[in-house]
Amino acid sequence: MENPGKRVDIVKLISLGDDLIGVLNNKKDGDNLMQSLEGMKTLKSSCEMDSQEVQNLLDENMESYPEYDSPETKVLHH
């Protein structure tokens, strides 16, 4: 007995496969994807450095005000 939830429209599946092959065969698209990936890596690295700098400033600030070093403010420390 056929499961209606698992039915696949073969024509749509073949069309999707053809589209995917066309995208993968297009060198320009691949180059654009690689350029986007490199940009994403650069952005991620920059965000991580900014985050670490902010964390360092928070840590320094907390050391300047030990009276505020309560359990509620420990959430800021990672």
Residues 35-71: tens digit of each pLDDT? 999 999 999 999 999 999 999 999 998 888 777 666 5
Enclosing domain of residue 25: 8-76
Average pLDDT over residues 7-15: 81
pLDDT at residue 15 is higher than 60: yes
Domain membership flag for residue 3:
no
Residue 35: its H or E element: helix 27-64
- CA distance linking residue 50 with residue 53, whole number of Å: 5
Domain membership flag for residue 46:
yes
Domain membership flag for residue 32:
yes
More confident residue, 28 or 74: 28
More confident residue, 29 or 18: 18
What is the number of structural domains in the chain?
A: 1
45-77 per-residue burial string, b: 16 or more CB within 10 A, e: under 16: eeeeeeeeeeeeeeeeeeeeeeeeeeeeeeeee
